[in-house]
Amino acid sequence: MRLHNAQMLFKQPRKVSFVGIKVEDPDRVEEVRRRIEEGFPEVFVSMAADFAEGAVDIKVTRSMTWAITMLAIIVSGVGMTNTMVMTVFERTQEIGVLRALGWRKSRVLGMILRESIVLSLASGLMGVVGGVVLGQVLNAMPGVAGFIRLSFSPVLFTRALVIALVLGAGGGLYPAWHASCLQPLEALRYE
């Protein structure tokens, strides 16, 4: 690919972000490095060996990112379950009334599960919008701009919403089951 085309593709006209230098005499690599650093202090020079080590760091960073993501998902799931458990507790009398009026266990279970899914989908949507907005804001900040390269895609958004949906369904399952098992009379007497 021509340099000009690459600059247009990455939206960095008249800029060069990386120059690879092949030194014919391997023994002179350090000397070449020193001369570039002296002549161009603003340029960061690294050896191929250093880069190889950096690639490992990139892998570690990527793994840590996934670990943090998984932790966030687990915490969200637990938070979802906790929210719905508290909701069921607060509405125990209400659930007792519904059962006394003839609602079956399955209808109560479906109601709580639907609420959980709607809540998590709404939260997922807010998270997606918030993430986009926050990314744009961070990218516009002087100290941060350039370090973050935003990349959005329908696949990414869909994945986020599916995860939210799964968390809602999974997190709401136990509270929904618990609500459906409440005995009408005990639930009516609950204070």
Using CB under 8 A, list all residues that contact another protein.
93-94, 97-105, 107, 184-185, 188
Structural element, H or E, at residue 93 = helix 92-100
Nearer to another protein, 99 or 163 (CB): 99
Nearer to another protein, 169 or 188 (CB): 188
Give least dist CB 116 to another protein, A.
17
* Least Cβ distance, residue 180 to another protein (angstroms): 11
Which CB, 96 or 171, lies closer to another protein?
A: 96
**Nearest distance from C-beta of residue 101 to another protein, angstroms:** 5
What single letter denotes the amino acid at residue 27? D
Q: Which is nearer to another protein, 98 or 167 (CB)?
A: 98
Per-residue CA distances from 147 to 5, 134, 160, 180 (Å):
22, 14, 23, 51
Smallest gap from Cβ 53 to another protein, in A, equals: 60
Cα 39 off chain centre by: 42
Residue by residue, DSSP assigns 21-71 as: ---SSGGGHHHHHHHHHHH-TTS----HHHHHHHHHHHHHHHHHHHHHHHH
